[in-house]
C-alpha cells in the first residue's frame, strides 16, 4: 500500500448533524443539475463565481451539506458582512473585490498538495503552486483588522517558510509538461546537470573549433567535421587530399569521392556527447524525486493553507453574489418560524434578467407555530411550483450561511427539506408515475418532523379523480395533525380548499390571474384565499391546442359544472373514519340464530328451510 500523508484525520458526518436533503429534493430544486441533466442553469451554477477549483468544491459542499447547528452559518454571514462593508480599497469596492483580484489565476493548491504527497505532481503544477504561494502573502494584509473569523483565516494563509523558495530554485520557470521530456530542473541547481547540458549546448562550437584546428594541422582546406545518426561524428576528406591525412586518422567509411575518418579526440567527444542527453535526463529524474522528498514535510502546512484559501474564495464568491443579485442577510431564531418578505427564486430571476422577458414578482411567506400549512391553488403556469421552490431555496441558502434573495428572512430550526414535485416514472425499476409519486410521499410522511419543510405539488394527480382526491386529503391531514411540518401543499382539487375550515393550522392562498376575454394573464402574485378556477382551458389555448378541441372542452366543462351544482352537499373529506354502524337484526336472522342443525332430523331441517324462505319473502319489499 501507499501512505496517504496528506490525509491527517477522517471525520464521520453524523445523521443528526446535517439538514436532510434527499436525492429527490436535490433534483427537484435543481441544486447541481437541471431536471434535464444539464449543469446550468442551476442554483450552484448561479452561486459559483469562485476563482479557484478548490473554492468551487468547498462551495458545493456547503450547498449540499448544510448543518443544523447555526454556528458555522453565522460565522459565514458575519464574514460576508465584513467583506461587503469593510474599508473601501479601490473604486469604492469593499475588501472582497481586492481579494478576488489577487485570487485570480491561483492554482488548485488542494489537489497539487495531494499529488505531491502521492508523488504524482507534474513540473508545471509545482510552478503554479510556487506562484500561488507568493500570492497568498499578499492576501494577509487585506484581511487584517476585519472580522475575527477572517483574521483566523489570514493566519492560515501564510506559506510554509522555504517551500516557495525551494520550488523556485529547483524548477525552471517554463518547464516541460513531463519530467521524461527534460528541461525541468532549473540551471544552477545542480553542477553535474549543468555540465551535461553544457556538453549538448557547446557541441557545435567544439566541432567548429576542431574543424579549424584540423585544417591548420593537415593543410586540407576542404576538410569537414560532420555528424549523422548512423556513423556518429566523423571527419570527411575528399579523394584528392588523402595523401595529406595524418597517421592518427582512423578510416570509418569509404564513399565514391571521399573518405570519412575518426580521431581519438573526436571519438572521446562522441562518447561524451551522445551519452550526455541520456545522462542529463536520468539526472533530472533523480533530482526531481529529491525535490519531491524535500517537499513532503510541507504537505500538512500546504493542506491547511489550501483549506483557508478555498474558504476565503467561497466567501468572496458569496459576497459578490449578494451584492450583484441584491441579496440580504437572513436572521436565525430559536422558535419555530419561517418568515420571508419579498422572496424571489434566484435562478428564475436571473434567467428573466438574461432574456429580458420581465421582472420577477416577489412574494411573502409566513409560517409558524399557529400557521404551518398553506393550501396553494391557482392556474397552471401561474407560478405555484416556483413559489414553493423559492421558499426551499431561500431556506437552504440561509442554512448554508449565505445571503438570501429576500428583503427579510427569519428562520427557525430546520432539520430537513422534503419535496414531492413533478411527474416522472422509473421504468428500469418497474415504477409508474403514480407509484413513484406515492413512494416519495410515503418517505416524506415517515421522515418529516415538526422542524421539516415539506413541499407537496399536486399530489394524487396520477390516478382517478376520486382516488387522488381521497389520498391528497388524507396526506394533508397527516401532515397537519401528526407531522406538523412546515408544509406547502399545491393542488388543483378545489375540494381541498375546505381543509382550513376544519384545521386551524392551515390557510388558503392562491396564485392570482386575470381573464381578458378568452385569454388569461398570469400575475404571479400570492394572495390570500382559494382560487376561483383553474383556467385549464385558457392554458391549453396558450399551448396551441386546436380550436375545435377547445370548444368541445368548454362545452363539456359547462355541462359538468351544471351537473355538479345539482348534486347533493359535498362529502366531508376530512372527517375522522367512523365505526360502521351495527345493523338491526331481521326476523330471518333471529329465526336462523335459534336453529341448531345438529338437533334437527332431515324432515325438520327441510321444514325449517321452507319456513325461513317464507319469512324472507314476507320481509322483502315489493
Helices (H), 296-341: 299-324
Q: Is residue 118 part of a domain?
A: yes
At 429-461, the pLDDT tens digits run: 546 778 888 888 999 999 999 999 999 998 877
Say if residues 302 and 163 touch (Cβ distance below 8 Å).
yes
| Confidence check: pLDDT of 537 > 80 | no
The pairing of strands 258-262 and 486-490 is unpaired
At 289-299, the pLDDT tens digits run: 999 999 999 99
d(CA 74, CA 59): 16
Q: Hey, how many other C-beta atoms are within 10 angstroms of the C-beta on 228?
A: 10
| Confidence check: pLDDT of 260 > 90 | yes
Which distant-in-sequence residues (6+ apart) come within 8 Å of 616 by Cβ? 588
Can you give the pLDDT at residue 6? 66
- Report residue 41's pLDDT band, with 50, 70 and 90 as the boundaries: very high
Residue with cell 429527490: 24
- Report residue 167's pLDDT band, with 50, 70 and 90 as the boundaries: very high
Can you give the pLDDT at residue 284? 94
Q: Name the CA dihedral angle for 396, 397, 398, 402, rounded to a multiple of 10 degrees.
A: 160
Q: Which residue has the higher pLDDT, 428 or 539?
A: 539
Can you give the pLDDT at residue 286? 95
- Report residue 425's pLDDT band, with 50, 70 and 90 as the boundaries: very low
- Report residue 563's pLDDT band, with 50, 70 and 90 as the boundaries: confident
Cα Rg for the chain, rounded, in angstroms?
Answer: 41
| Confidence check: pLDDT of 88 > 60 | no
Going by the DSSP 8-state scheme, the letter that residue 38 receives in this structure is -
Instruction: Say which CATH number the domain at 503 has.
Output: 3.40.50.300
- Report residue 320's pLDDT band, with 50, 70 and 90 as the boundaries: very high
Q: Please tell me whether residues 500 and 367 are part of one structural domain.
A: yes
Q: Please tell me whether residues 343 and 453 are part of one structural domain.
A: yes
d(CA 332, CA 398): 9
| Confidence check: pLDDT of 270 > 90 | no
Q: Is residue 572 part of a domain?
A: no
Going by the DSSP 8-state scheme, the letter that residue 426 receives in this structure is B
| Confidence check: pLDDT of 216 > 60 | yes
Can you give the pLDDT at residue 391? 97
- Report residue 568's pLDDT band, with 50, 70 and 90 as the boundaries: very low
The pairing of strands 486-490 and 506-516 is unpaired
Residue 333 CA neighbour count, 13 Å, CB half: 14
Q: Please tell me whether residues 486 and 592 are part of one structural domain.
A: no
Instruction: Say which CATH number the domain at 298 has.
Output: 1.10.1420.10
Say if residues 305 and 109 touch (Cβ distance below 8 Å).
yes
Residue with cell 392554458: 539
Sign for the pseudo-dihedral over CA of 545, 547, 553, 557 = positive
Going by the DSSP 8-state scheme, the letter that residue 179 receives in this structure is G
| Confidence check: pLDDT of 191 > 60 | yes
Least confident of 17-26, 89-98, 465-474, 598-607: 89-98
Q: Is residue 533 part of a domain?
A: yes
- Report residue 91's pLDDT band, with 50, 70 and 90 as the boundaries: very low
| Confidence check: pLDDT of 195 > 90 | no
Residue with cell 378556477: 533
Helix (H) or strand (E) holding 252: strand 250-254
Q: Name the CA dihedral angle for 151, 299, 72, 65, rounded to a multiple of 10 degrees.
A: 150
Which distant-in-sequence residues (6+ apart) come within 8 Å of 79 by Cβ? 147, 149, 150, 315
d(CA 482, CA 121): 57
Q: Is residue 154 part of a domain?
A: yes
What are the counts of helices (DSSP H) followed by strands (DSSP E) for the chain?
Answer: 22, 14
Average pLDDT over every residue of 291-319: 95
Q: Please tell me whether residues 133 and 158 are part of one structural domain.
A: yes
- Report residue 372's pLDDT band, with 50, 70 and 90 as the boundaries: very high
Can you give the pLDDT at residue 331? 96
Q: What is the SS3 string spanning 368-418?
A: ECCECEEEEECCCCCCHHHHHHHHHHHHHHHHHCCCECCCEEEECCCCEEE
Sheet-wide strand order for 232-238: 224-228, 232-238, 258-262, 250-254
Q: Per DSSP, what are the bridge partners of residue 375?
A: 489, 508
Average pLDDT over every residue of 329-344: 95
Can you give the pLDDT at residue 577? 58
Q: Please tell me whether residues 458 and 542 are part of one structural domain.
A: yes
d(CA 552, CA 529): 31
d(CA 381, CA 365): 20
Q: Is residue 530 part of a domain?
A: yes
Mean pLDDT of the chain: 87
Can you give the pLDDT at residue 570? 54
Helix (H) or strand (E) holding 237: strand 232-238
Q: Please tell me whether residues 456 and 535 are part of one structural domain.
A: yes
Q: Using N-to-C axis directions, what is the helix angle for 191-201 and 264-295, rounded to 10°?
A: 140
| Confidence check: pLDDT of 102 > 50 | yes
Q: Is residue 197 part of a domain?
A: yes
Q: Please tell me whether residues 538 and 433 are part of one structural domain.
A: yes
Q: Please tell me whether residues 362 and 404 are part of one structural domain.
A: yes
Q: Please tell me whether residues 157 and 118 are part of one structural domain.
A: yes
Sheet-wide strand order for 519-528: 416-420, 452-457, 486-490, 373-377, 506-516, 519-528
Q: Is residue 318 part of a domain?
A: yes
Tell me which residue range forms the domain holding 597.
Answer: 587-619
Q: Hey, how many other C-beta atoms are within 10 angstroms of the C-beta on 354?
A: 9
Q: Please tell me whether residues 263 and 300 are part of one structural domain.
A: no
Helix (H) or strand (E) holding 77: helix 71-85
Residue 388 C-alpha from the chain's centroid: 20
Q: Is residue 580 part of a domain?
A: no
Distances (CA, A) of 141 to 97, 150, 339: 14, 11, 39
Can you give the pLDDT at residue 588? 75
Q: How many domains does the chain have?
A: 4
Q: Please tell me whether residues 352 and 379 are part of one structural domain.
A: yes
Average pLDDT over every residue of 559-565: 74
Q: Please tell me whether residues 151 and 136 are part of one structural domain.
A: yes
Task: Determine phi and psi for 332, rounding to 5 degrees.
Answer: -105, 145
d(CA 226, CA 251): 14
Amino acid at each position: 500500500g501507499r501512505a496517504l500523508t496528506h490525509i491527517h484525520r477522517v471525520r464521520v458526518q453524523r445523521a443528526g448533524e446535517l439538514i436532510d436533503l434527499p436525492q429527490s429534493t436535490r433534483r427537484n430544486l435543481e441544486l447541481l443539475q437541471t431536471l434535464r441533466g444539464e449543469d446550468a442553469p442551476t442554483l450552484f451554477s448561479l452561486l459559483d463565481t469562485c476563482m479557484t477549483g478548490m473554492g468551487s468544491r468547498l462551495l458545493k459542499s456547503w450547498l449540499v451539506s448544510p448543518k443544523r447547528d447555526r454556528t458555522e452559518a453565522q460565522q459565514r454571514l458575519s464574514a460576508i458582512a465584513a467583506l461587503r462593508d469593510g474599508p473601501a480599497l479601490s473604486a469604492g469596492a469593499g475588501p472582497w473585490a481586492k481579494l478576488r483580484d489577487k485570487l485570480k489565476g491561483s492554482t488548485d493548491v488542494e489537489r497539487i498538495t495531494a499529488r505531491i504527497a502521492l508523488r504524482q505532481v507534474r513540473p508545471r503544477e509545482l510552478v503554479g503552486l510556487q506562484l500561488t504561494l507568493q500570492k497568498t502573502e499578499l492576501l494577509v494584509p487585506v484581511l487584517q483588522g476585519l472580522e475575527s473569523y477572517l483574521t483566523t483565516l489570514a493566519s492560515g494563509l501564510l506559506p510554509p517558510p522555504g517551500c516557495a523558495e525551494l520550488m523556485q530554485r529547483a524548477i525552471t520557470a517554463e518547464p516541460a509538461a513531463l519530467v521524461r521530456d527534460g528541461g525541468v530542473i532549473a540551471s544552477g541547481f545542480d553542477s553535474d546537470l549543468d555540465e551535461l547540458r553544457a556538453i549538448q549546448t557547446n557541441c557545435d562550437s567544439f566541432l567548429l573549433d576542431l574543424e579549424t584546428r584540423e585544417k591548420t594541422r593537415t593543410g586540407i582546406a576542404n576538410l569537414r567535421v560532420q555528424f549523422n545518426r548512423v556513423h556518429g561524428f566523423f571527419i570527411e576528406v575528399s579523394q584528392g587530399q588523402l595523401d595529406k591525412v595524418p597517421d592518427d586518422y582512423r578510416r570509418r567509411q569509404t564513399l565514391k569521392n571521399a573518405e570519412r575518418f575518426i580521431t581519438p579526440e573526436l571519438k572521446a567527444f562522441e562518447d561524451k556527447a551522445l551519452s550526455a542527453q541520456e545522462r542529463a535526463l536520468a539526472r533530472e529524474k533523480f533530482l526531481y524525486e529529491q525535490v519531491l522528498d524535500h517537499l513532503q514535510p510541507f504537505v500538512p502546512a500546504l493542506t491547511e493553507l489550501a483549506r483557508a484559501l478555498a474558504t476565503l474564495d467561497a466567501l468572496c464568491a458569496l459576497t459578490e453574489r449578494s451584492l450583484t443579485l441584491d441579496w440580504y442577510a437572513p436572521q436565525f431564531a430559536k422558535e419555530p418560524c419561517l418568515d420571508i418578505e419579498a422572496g424571489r427564486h434566484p435562478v428564475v430571476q436571473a434567467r428573466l434578467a438574461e432574456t429580458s422577458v420581465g421582472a420577477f414578482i416577489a412574494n411573502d411567506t409566513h409560517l409558524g407555530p399557529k400557521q404551518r400549512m398553506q393550501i396553494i391553488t391557482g392556474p397552471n403556469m401561474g407560478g405555484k411550483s416556483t413559489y414553493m421552490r423559492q421558499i426551499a431555496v431561500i431556506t437552504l441558502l440561509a442554512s448554508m450561511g449565505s445571503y438570501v434573495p429576500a428583503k427579510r428572512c427569519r428562520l427557525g430550526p430546520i432539520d430537513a427539506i422534503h419535496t414531492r414535485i413533478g411527474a416522472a416514472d422509473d421504468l428500469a425499476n418497474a415504477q409508474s408515475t403514480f407509484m413513484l409519486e406515492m413512494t416519495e410521499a410515503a418517505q416524506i410522511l415517515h421522515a418529516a418532523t415538526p422542524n421539516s419543510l415539506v413541499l407537496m405539488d399536486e399530489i394524487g394527480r396520477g390516478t382517478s379523480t376520486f382516488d387522488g382526491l381521497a389520498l391528497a386529503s388524507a396526506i394533508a391531514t397527516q401532515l397537519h395533525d401528526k407531522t406538523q411540518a412546515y408544509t406547502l401543499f399545491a393542488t388543483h382539487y378545489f375540494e381541498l380548499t375546505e381543509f382550513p375550515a376544519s384545521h386551524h393550522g392551515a390557510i388558503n392562498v392562491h396564485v392570482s390571474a386575470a381573464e381578458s376575454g378568452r385569454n388569461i394573464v398570469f400575475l404571479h402574485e400570492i394572495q390570500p384565499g382559494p382560487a376561483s378556477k383553474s383556467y385549464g382551458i385558457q392554458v391549453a389555448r396558450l399551448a396551441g391546442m386546436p380550436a375545435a378541441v377547445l370548444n368541445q372542452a368548454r362545452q363539456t366543462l359547462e355541462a359538468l359544472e351544471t351537473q355538479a351544482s345539482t348534486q347533493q352537499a359535498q362529502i366531508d373529506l376530512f372527517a375522522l373514519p367512523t365505526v360502521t354502524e351495527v345493523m338491526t337484526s331481521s326476523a330471518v336472522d333471529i329465526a336462523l340464530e335459534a336453529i341448531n342443525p345438529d338437533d334437527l332430523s332431515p324432515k325438520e331441517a327441510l321444514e325449517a328451510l321452507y319456513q325461513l324462505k317464507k319469512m324472507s319473502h314476507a320481509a322483502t319489499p315489493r
